[in-house]
Structure 1
């Protein structure tokens, strides 16, 4: 009987050591991926392109049916995530709430007047507009956000896109309290939001993320 208990104890010890090593290896791999994501502009822009394809608005023909995008393959795999373009506003607002703190509120599309979401922070109210575009964003959306900032007495604003901004847009926004967030920066905020999720899990399940003993 004693030998059986010893054998079980040894098996449990071996299993525990294996679990700790696997967890350490997985964490190393995740940290490696995270560092690569934050250091490589090419990777970030690739992910930004993926966000555009995920949330882009499909064009409709005269009969109201969606037309096949010229860039899309005739038989896209079902594994690709495709969502309603309006969900992109919720997606971005959730990223801002998790990465920057505060509370976000997505406005109804027919009542936003150029403001897709409000972001309430300790510093005050910020207004955001999102553009799931492949073309560079010009200054018009920035002017619209600025107009709403004055009207609603907001302290700042954001214009967020999966693409980039024209030089005219950057020059227009420079003297204003409006942050221009291109596709690369949006991916960075997305990674920060995911990191925030992990920190929340650590608080709920501290035993899972406890520091491994040194060997």
Structure 2
């Protein structure tokens, strides 16, 4: 009995010494939560608005002439070949805009119209067309918002292809309507080449780019 007691005592001492040499348990590591980027919340009362499409800027020749309307307070420039054919209250026509010769294009000119309290602001050339026939596009040219419209009239062998730019300030709706007057090639025994509409229309945006309000 005494021998067993000695053996048990020696085992207890040995286990105690081993326990003292064991390393301390590492503390438990709790993983940190990963915080994502906050999702912006749009206010419900903010309506989505369609922004006008910006148009390219233009380089205007120094010798262009200046048109000015003191009554409605705006001005723009146009090619030196242009001649003011008619000008009255809220209307002007500028003939002689240059174009490439030798095609079925016989004339290129500009009509300036000002309408008060027009809603919507649109070129008078759009009148008389069936609803939905005239397509419009919003653009921004030189910081001003414009509506572009276009159409074509034909009769007696004459074709008038037009592009109109309209902008509004206060109660004044200003429209710059550019007209390409051409003839039907079928009228000729030897038809002339067709004019390049894209090339002849390029100057339109250049003229509109020079438009400014005198009292912005």
TM-score (norm 1): 0.25
| Higher relative contact order (Cα pairs below 8 Å, separated by 6+ residues) | 2
Structure (1/2) with the larger helix percentage: 1
Structure (1/2) with the larger strand percentage: 2
Q: Rg larger in 1 or in 2?
A: 2
